[in-house]
A and B are shown apart, each in its own frame.
Chain A
Amino acid sequence: MRKAFYIPLGLFVILVIILSIGLTRDPRTIPSPLINKPAPEFTLPLLYRQAETFSPQQMRGKVWLLNVFASWCSGCRAEHHFLMQMARIPGVNLYGLNYKDVPLDGKKWLEQFGNPYKSVAKDINGRVGIDWGVYGVPETFVIDKQGIIRYKQIGPIDQKAINETLLPLIKKLQLQ
């Protein structure tokens, strides 16, 4: 056989390899451009103590997590008991953003399943969600002491995400 015969075959094999790698990736997970950028500022009223507000500025000097959730979101139900588990770990500062929810529904949900958050801000019209690039709740952001977003979890948190990603990252950031 002539050498030229193997060129299309070789190209085909390369194509198959590239496409196979593509199949193992999740198209729903879009890399956030906000990673390693300052967390977008906002000031929102709290879900419970309504006279008070939450803003990322208040969290300077602390490693904290912002979990975007809603009572209408089924993935949030799936991750909820993992959030409850995380909230019990010392050094984990978990805050909630109740995204495009009816405040009463949000409260009911937390009363029914437990409230893992230190505070919950309410983003009724979803405008803060746009600034944070939220497109599929639940989403969880890890923010460092300088107010820089270091990680974004898209979709529900599970045991693996806690043990392998979130807790090691929180520990690492707390030492900085």
Chain B
Amino acid sequence: MAGIEFAEFDDPEQAELYKIMVDELRCLVCQNQNLADSNAPLAKDLRNEIQKMIKQGNSRDEIVDFMVARYGDFVLYRPPFKAYTLILWLGPFIGLVLAIYILINIIRSRSTQQSDEISELDKQRVSDLFGTNTRTDKK
């Protein structure tokens, strides 16, 4: 944790909440880092703000609401389940179901094509290739 400064809590539960919060909230300046990892001045300010809020007894939801009201859902590394995030959440499962459906279809169509019987047409082709006429030999 590069940018994190010492945050002291008397209550171990509060310390745990702080750890979770700075881990789950995104730094808006360097967008691929969370608040815990970022050295950006804004990340530091937001860590201080979170620390203050936790010490004042705010819950996890209250802190998340505070951040989302100001910076939008983008601050959350765990995007909320909403109408416009449906594809994000359900897309992989829909893809999986679709893939299994296609796979079953392919397997089924292959198994119906394979049969032990040799058609008249194939027998004819075999004999043509070998240059023999089996039907006349038998007679």
Chain B residues closer than 8 Å to A127, beta-carbon distance: 45
Chain A residues closer than 8 Å to B69, beta-carbon distance: 33
Which among B31, B71, B102 is the interface contact of A133 at CB below 8 angstroms? B71
- Is residue A126 contacting chain B, with contact meaning CB distance below 8 A? yes
Interface residue SS majority, chain A: loop
Residue tally, chain B, CB below 8 Å to A: 18
Chain B residues closer than 8 Å to A136, beta-carbon distance: 28-29
Given the known inter-chain contacts A4-B106, A126-B42, A130-B45, please indicate yes or no for A135 contacting B29, CB distance below 8 A.
yes
Q: Are B102 and A27 in contact (CB under 8 A)?
A: no
Residues of A whose CB lies within 8 Å of any CB of B are 4, 7, 27-28, 30-34, 100, 125-127, 130-133, 135-136
Given the known inter-chain contacts A4-B102, A27-B31, A136-B29, please indicate yes or no for A130 contacting B72, CB distance below 8 A.
no
- Is residue B8 contacting chain A, with contact meaning CB distance below 8 A? no
Q: For chains A and B in complex, what number of residue pairs have CB atoms within 8 angstroms?
A: 42
Residue in A closest to B32 when the chains form the complex, CB atoms: A27
Instruction: Compute how far the CA of A66 lies from the CA of B24 in the bound complex, rounded to whole angstroms.
Output: 31
Q: Are A130 and B70 in contact (CB under 8 A)?
A: yes
Residue in B closest to A31 when the chains form the complex, CB atoms: B72
Which among A7, A28, A30, A125 is the interface contact of B102 at CB below 8 angstroms? A7
Chain B residues closer than 8 Å to A31, beta-carbon distance: 72, 74
17 A-B pairs within 8 Å (CB atoms) are namely A4-B105, A28-B31, A30-B72, A30-B74, A31-B72, A33-B68, A33-B69, A33-B70, A33-B73, A100-B41, A126-B42, A126-B45, A127-B45, A130-B49, A133-B72, A135-B42, A135-B71
Q: Are A131 and B70 in contact (CB under 8 A)?
A: yes
